[in-house]
Amino acid sequence: MLFSGIPFLFYFLPCVLLVYFAVPQKGRNAVLLAASLFFYGWGEPKFLLFMVFSIVQGYLFARLIERGRRKKLFLALSLAVSFALLGYCKYADFFIENVNAVTGLSLPLLKIALPIGISFYTFQIAGYEIDVYRGSVAAQRNFIDFAAYVAMFPQLIAGPIVRYRDIARQLKERTHSLETAASGASRFAVGLGKKVLVANVLAQLVSAYKASAEQTALYAWLYAIAFTLQIYFDFSGYSDMAIGLGRIFGFTFPENFRYPYIAKSITEFWRRWHMSLGTWFRDYLYIPLGGSRCSRARHIFNILVVWMATGFWHGAAWNFIFWGLFYAVLLMAEKFFLLPALQKGRLLPHVYVLLAVTLGFVLFDAASLRGALRQLGLLFGVGAVPGPGTEALYMLRSYGAVLALAVLGATPLPAMLLQEARKAKPLAPVFTVAEPLCTLALLALCTAFLVDGSFNPFLYFRF
């Protein structure tokens, strides 16, 4: 079940909200847990076994860690169990394929279907265990509350990665108000619009390119730019929907995106893109390895390890690993040489970031390293057919307006203009009426697109 689907919008969510607000405060976590398990098991009920097992072991090991005796052993066991399960589901075939390639063996692949969201809830449980070990949070004694935290459907399948310490108090006590619910509904509608009206439309251009035999540089650039915008609006849209749903249910989830495409350096880009993942790797891997407070050689090693892990987290393929290492190289170059010059520049730093990110996403989206090299070559005319190409020109005319609007929407300009308009006293009464009407209109427009059977892919299914 996806947020951007009719079953979720018009059957599941209304029923859950009705039951959730009908029961007393003490029973709402149980309702949320039951709804989350139903939501997760909608497509493949067998995947519930992986999630329930992860929740149970996380709950039990945290209680053992908190007791203090052999807590390092219990932490190691919990992390081993969590990452072994993730490794089995997500990476087993990758390792078997590479063993076969190196040794010449023909070991059969396991062909395991990847449980949706397993990377997200594995990281949440691992972070929780480490925080209990460090003493920064107390182990949750109520199993229902802990299970609701891990399985919470608003942020389960695409993040943000919510730290237990950020919502521990809200699991016990949270307030609900019409104003907060309206704010959450508005944020959800914006995220849904990003996904359905922008990301899904751009996905049609990306799909058309992949199905086409036309190999021109113009078409390759249209694809690269479209995918770069698609993945932003898809992922940030899901994050907006998760944050909005969290507000409706009384939770405050962390922001996950802050206009990353306006960054002036790759360092800044990663402070704005998928922020919950970046801070997770910083707090639980980079800093424990020694961070930057070490020799230069060790610092380089730490960066390489973290970014190889970041790439591998995104997918079990070499192109993801090299995508992570690509950013590691750029970040090291900035830390040791480029950052002062980038901070002083105006236009060129933005061009550098956008070019690097676009090339990076071509690598990210490739089916193989060979395919990535071919696509990167086409961007610069290597192997490309001369001329713009008739299909590329047709796609430029057909999707040019959407691409332009997406570029504008990826900047803070629309939000800034809206904020300034809100500050104008004569317009205050207008916004009081217009905002809920705009939210309803946006939901209606998205529904029309979904009912019409518009293309509705889910990019982050593999995570």
| Residues near 102 by beta carbon (within 8 Å), at least 6 away in sequence | none
Q: Which pair of tokens denotes residue 358? A: 């676009």
Over its length of 463 residues, how does the chain's per-residue pLDDT go in tens digits?
A: 788 888 999 999 999 999 999 999 999 999 999 999 999 988 778 889 999 999 999 999 999 999 988 999 999 999 999 999 999 999 999 999 999 999 998 899 998 888 888 999 999 999 999 999 999 999 999 999 999 999 999 988 877 999 999 999 999 989 889 899 999 999 999 999 999 999 999 999 999 999 999 999 999 999 999 999 999 999 999 999 999 999 999 999 999 999 999 999 999 999 999 999 999 999 999 999 999 889 999 999 999 999 999 999 999 999 999 999 999 999 999 999 998 888 888 899 999 999 999 999 999 999 889 999 999 999 999 988 888 899 999 999 999 999 999 999 999 999 998 888 777 777 667 777 788 888 899 999 999 988 876 666 666 555 5
Q: Is 314 a catalytic residue?
A: yes
Contact predicate 358/297, CB 8 Å: no
pLDDT at residue 277, as a whole number = 95
Q: Is the dihedral of CA 146, 152, 158, 163 positive or negative?
A: negative
Q: Is 68 left (phi over 0), alpha (psi -120 to 50) or beta?
A: left
Q: Which pair of tokens denotes residue 459? A: 């990019």
Active-site annotation holder among 176, 274, 314, 350? 314
Residue 206 vs residues 27, 184, 230, 322, 372: alpha-carbon distances, Å = 45, 31, 9, 22, 15
Q: Which backbone phi and psi does 437 adopt, to 5 degrees?
A: -65, -40
pLDDT at residue 463, as a whole number = 55
Contact predicate 45/112, CB 8 Å: no
Separation of alpha carbons 226 and 211, rounded Å:
15
pLDDT at residue 422, as a whole number = 76
Residue owning tokens 């394929």: 97
Separation of alpha carbons 10 and 28, rounded Å:
21
Own/partner contacts of 368-373, CB < 8 Å, gap of 24 or more, are: 368/317, 368/318, 368/319, 369/318, 369/319, 369/322, 372/319, 372/322
